[in-house]
Chains A and B, each alone.
Chain A
Amino acid sequence: MKELEKTKRISIAAVLFILAVLIGLLTYKRPKYMYAINTKSALEKLTSDNYLITLNDLNNPDYVLIDVRNQFEFEKGHMKNAINIYTPDILSDKNLGLFNELKETNKTAVLYGNNPQEVNAPFLILYQLGYDNIKLLAINNSYLENKLITKNNDIEKSEADITTFINESRENASIEQEVEDIIKAPKRVITVQKRKKKPAEGGC
């Protein structure tokens, strides 16, 4: 009889465990938006992909223009056939549905705004959510006489050679100086101090 008692307890425990796991699985709520790639692969893709396009490449019929500015700016002037999706709204159901549709029909969404920096945010978020059929239009928008003027913009182009400027200013001031080395960052030592585990302190 004792043997039977033990086995009964084991089987009851096992059944309860399985029940608990099943209940956990059933009540598990899938997060509403899931990233499709982790940060490391996102970084690799970003640095190797060619996601920037200029105005000249816009004649492709597979491109759908999306304006990420707010409604006011959109109505002031927008590019032809552009859809307006304001950046804070890109995660709404309607807009994600639109992107899903575009992905299924193999069309490329081309995002643009007043300048490329504005578009960086929605572009990266959509990219990490798995919509890799998007590109960034590198342009600057400005208004003249109520008309929209769009110009190509070189991303991250260095506008001034600072070293040359500083050297020139020295020459102009005609000071005899040795060429000073750019102050290099000193070797930084980051020491990670591991704290010893303190035994549990009881009382005040």
Chain B
Amino acid sequence: MVKKKIAKILAFRYKLLAGILILLAGGLVLLPKYQEHEGIKPQELLSNVISPERYITTDQVAHKLINRDPSFILIDVRDEKSYANYSLPNALNIPLKKLLDEDSKSYLNQNQFDVVLYSNDHFYADQAWILCNRLGFKNIRVLKGGLNCWFKTIINPMKPSENMPTEAFDLYSTRKASSMYFGVVYPEQANVAGSETKIKAPKRVITVQKRKKKPAEGGC
């Protein structure tokens, strides 16, 4: 008789356990809300966004381009028409709408190259930067002032007036030389110049190595 009672209680216990486990499974419904919360914390995003570290000046970018620095990629976030009209040499076009597509992500989510985003002014480039920063992409910078500043400083640099220090004049001559590199022709130069060297863009192969997780190495 006692055995039968014990058997009954035991059977009930299993039903109870099963019921509790099903309830917990129902709690999985709460997960989707958490999925919207992807990326770094808002406080962290705020502090990253406030700091001006992400800006890079047009002079620095011109310097990198002239020295054929291989470690960075330029990305234009304007639409295709503006890109086709004029763009920096060797720049890629990823319109803002397509920023988070799979193939664009492969350019952004890698730590081999520095990425410099730019647009007409740094408004859209900043927006792209903030979204990428939320997803945790590193090594992304923004060209301060965008192409408008590029025009004002590199293509058509402002001639310093007589009362400016020597540094201003040096800067002006550097900028004038960069503008010649990027295609602007000055009348004085034309009379001297002979044949022009065409600047061809070298074919670049970017290898992005995906690191596989290595199993734990024992030993030293």
Contact indicator per residue, chain B 79-116, by CB within 8 Å of chain A (1) or not (0): 00010111101111100110110000011001000000
Q: Is A182 located at the chain interface by the 8 A CB criterion?
A: yes
Residues from 76 to 133 in A contacting B, C-beta threshold 8 Å? 87-88, 90-91, 116-117, 120-121, 124-125, 128-129
A interface residue count range (under 10 / 10 to 19 / 20 to 34 / 35 or more):
35 or more
Contact with B along A155-195 (1 / 0, CB 8 A): 11111111101100110111101001011111111111111
Chain B residues 108 to 157 lying within 8 A of chain A, measured CB to CB, are: 110, 119-124, 126-127, 130-131, 134-135, 146-148, 150-152, 155-156
Contacts of A185 in B (CB 8 A): 90-93, 201
A200 touching B218, Cβ below 8 Å: yes
**Docked complex Cα distance between A46 and B120 (Å):** 18
In whole angstroms, how far apart are the Cα atoms of A185 and B50 in the complex? 32
Q: Mark A28-48, 1 if CB is under 8 A from B, else 0.
A: 000111111111101110110
Main DSSP-derived SS at the B contact region:
mixed
A9 within 8 A of B: no
Could you say which residues of chain A place their CB within 8 Å of the CB of B165?
Answer: none
Q: Is A199 an interface residue (CB 8 A)?
A: yes
A193 engages B39 (CB within 8 Å): no
B20: chain A residues at CB < 8 Å are: 18
- B-side interface residues, number (CB < 8 Å): 91
Q: How many A-B residue pairs have CB under 8 A?
A: 218
A11 x B127 contact (CB < 8 A): no
Give the chain B neighbours of A161 by CB distance below 8 A: 85-86
In the complex, B214 has a CB within 8 A of chain A: yes
* Complex interface residues of chain A between 1 and 22 (CB less than 8 A to chain B): 7, 11, 14-15, 18, 21
Interchain nearest-CB distance for B84 vs A (Å): 8
List the B side residues contacting A18 at CB < 8 Å. 17, 20-21, 24
Cβ–Cβ contact B208 & A191, under 8 A: yes
Residue A186 contacts which of B107, B186, B204, B214 (CB distance < 8 angstroms)? B204
> What are the residues of chain A within 8 A of B46 when measuring CB–CB?
87-88, 90-91, 121, 125
A61 lies within 8 A of chain B by Cβ: no
**Smallest CB separation, B156 vs chain A (Å):** 7
**Which residues of chain A come closer than 8 Å to B204, judged between CB atoms?**
186, 188
* Chain B residue at minimal CB-CB distance from A86: B50
A42 to chain B, nearest CB (A): 6
Q: Write the chain A residue with the least CB distance to B184.
A: A169
Q: Are A33 and B148 in contact (CB under 8 A)?
A: no
B106–A190 touching, CB < 8 Å: yes
Residues of B within 8 A of A183 (CB): 89-90, 199-201
B209 touches A31 (CB 8 A): no
Q: Which residues of A contact B (CB under 8 A)?
A: 7, 11, 14-15, 18, 21, 25, 31-40, 42-44, 46-47, 87-88, 90-91, 116-117, 120-121, 124-125, 128-129, 155-163, 165-166, 169-170, 172-175, 177, 180, 182-204
Q: List 26 A-B contacts (CB under 8 A).
A: A31-B37, A35-B38, A37-B36, A39-B131, A42-B131, A43-B100, A43-B131, A87-B50, A117-B126, A124-B131, A128-B134, A129-B42, A156-B120, A160-B151, A162-B147, A162-B155, A163-B85, A165-B155, A169-B184, A173-B185, A182-B84, A183-B200, A185-B90, A192-B208, A199-B215, A200-B218
Given A186-B203, A194-B210, output 17 extra A-B contacts at Cβ < 8 Å.
Answer: A11-B17, A15-B17, A25-B27, A35-B42, A39-B100, A117-B121, A120-B126, A121-B49, A155-B123, A160-B155, A163-B85, A175-B190, A185-B201, A188-B206, A189-B206, A197-B212, A197-B214
